[in-house]
């Protein structure tokens, strides 16, 4: 059981994630991606006269089970398989963040920024609400999320996915090095 409670190295976790692509392709030419599941849920639950939601969502219902499995797996992992070890980040990154006032590294996300108490502050509102909106808008604008483009799209040699993934990476670098230091200090 200890094997499952330890963080898995990249050379184990990476290939396992990568094997999802051929498995889905072999099981009926299914595309890996999470962001489309919100569209399927809206099409199933909101029978409005909106052209974007008028399609046979039942053909894609497997995706809803996939997302439910991810949520169930996350619950099982946090409740029964999480070890008592700190999040392992680079010491230089930890020092840099501590200088900027981020000191809580006890969970996956820093509690100094991502907590219900911080949601009522300007910094928390920007990170949680505005950041969440920008991720959702970017996902829709790019025609998919990072997992769909970077894992599925690139492996099936789709040029739009290569462009989207490069833009995700460039945006991440710009955010990390040029915008994040100012937002943390709010």
In this predicted structure, the answer to whether residue 11 has a pLDDT above a threshold of 90 is: yes
The residue-averaged pLDDT of 140-150 equals 86
- Name the band, by pLDDT with cuts 50, 70 and 90, for residue 90: confident
Taking CA atoms, 1 is separated from 6, 69, 114, in Å, by 9, 21, 30
User: Domain ranges in the chain?
Assistant: 1-85, 89-186
Give yes or no for a contact between 184 and 100, defined as CB atoms under 8 angstroms apart: yes
pTM over 0.85: no
Percent of the chain at pLDDT exceeding 90: 17
pLDDT of residue 8: 80
């Amino acid at each position: 059981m200890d094997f499952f409670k330890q963080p898995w190295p990249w050379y184990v976790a990476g290939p396992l994630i990568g094997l999802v692509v051929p498995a889905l392709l072999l099981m009926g030419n299914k595309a890996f991606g999470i962001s489309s599941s919100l569209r399927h849920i809206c099409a199933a639950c909101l029978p409005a006269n909106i052209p974007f939601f008028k399609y046979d969502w039942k053909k894609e219902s497997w995706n809803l089970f996939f997302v439910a499995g991810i949520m169930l797996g996350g619950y099982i992992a946090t409740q029964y398989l999480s070890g008592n070890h700190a999040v392992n980040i680079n010491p230089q990154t930890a020092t840099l963040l501590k200088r900027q006032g981020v000191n809580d590294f006890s969970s996956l996300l820093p509690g100094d920024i991502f907590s219900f108490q911080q949601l009522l502050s300007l910094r928390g509102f920007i990170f949680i609400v505005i950041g969440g909106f920008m991720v959702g808008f970017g996902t829709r604008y790019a025609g998919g999320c990072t997992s769909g483009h970077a894992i599925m799209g690139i492996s099936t040699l789709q040029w739009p996915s290569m462009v989207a993934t490069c833009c995700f990476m460039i945006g991440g670098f710009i955010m990390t090095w040029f915008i994040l230091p100012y937002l943390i200090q709010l």
